[in-house]
Structure 1
Amino acid sequence: MKGFMYILECSNGKFYTGSTKYLDKRISQHQAGTGANFTKKHLPVKLVYYEEYDNIADAFYREKQIKGWSRKKKLALIEGRHDELPELSKSTLRQAQVTT
C-alpha cells in the first residue's frame, strides 16, 4: 500500500508534517478541521510539499525525520533547494552544540 509524507502550511505560517495512505482524503480532513489538533486551530491549510513512497512505513519514517528539521531546512526542501540541505543540517548541529 502506497504512502505519502506531506507538509502543510497553516494560516499562521507554520508547517505541519504528516503521513498518510490517502493524500487527498487526509488534506480534506485537515481543511475540515478533523485532521489534527494543530491544523484545526490554524485553518485554512495549504499543501506545499509531498513525497510518495511504496509503503506507509517509509512515509512515516520520513515524516519523523522531517519533523526534527528546522524551519529553514523544511523551506529549502519545499522550494527544491536540495543542495542546501546538508549545510542546513550542519548549521543545526553547530547551533545545538553551542547552546548545550
Structure 2
Amino acid sequence: MEKNNHFFYVLECKDGSYYAGYTVDLAARVEKHNAGKGAKYTRARKPVKLLYNERFETKSEALKMEYSFKKLSRIEKEKYIRKNRKEGLHNE
C-alpha cells in the first residue's frame, strides 16, 4: 500500500450529526456511505457530505486521530475542524 494514503475523515450527515472514520480512498468511501453500504450509523442519515479530512503517513496515525476525535464534544469537534482548516492540515 502506498504511504501517505491513510485518511481520517469527518462526514456531515443529513441530520447535522458528524461521523468520523478511516479510509485509504476518500471518494470511494463517501460514495459507499451515500449508497447505504457504509457504516450502519450513516445508512439512516444520508446523504452525507465530506466535511473534513486529514492525510497521514500510517494507518495507525489515522486511526489514533479518529479515536481522539470521537472522544471530543460537538463544540470541540467544530473547533478542531476550524482550527486545522486555517492551519492547512485539511486536504481537498
Q: Same fold by TM (over 0.5)?
A: yes
Structure showing greater relative contact order (alpha-carbon pairs closer than 8 Å, 6 or more residues apart): 2
Shift of 1:6: 0.3
Residues 81 and 59 of structure 1: CA distance in aligned 2, closer, same or farther (over 3 Å): closer
Shift of 1:33: 0.8
Unaligned runs of 5+ in 1: 83-100
Unaligned runs of 5+ in 2: 86-92
Q: Does 1:14 align with 2:17?
A: yes
Query: Which residue of 2 is the match for residue 48 of structure 1?
Result: 51
Deviations 1:22-51 (A, max 9, x none): 111111101111010010110010111110
TM-score, with structure 2 as normaliser: 0.83
Partner SS for 1:80: helix
CA RMSD for the aligned pairs?
A: 1.5
The answer to which structure has the higher helix fraction is 1
Q: 1: CA distance between counterparts of 2:83 and 2:33?
A: 24
Q: 2:78 aligns with which of 72, 75, 80?
A: 75
Residues 81 and 53 of structure 1: CA distance in aligned 2, closer, same or farther (over 3 Å): closer
Shift of 1:81: 6.8
TM-score, with structure 1 as normaliser: 0.76
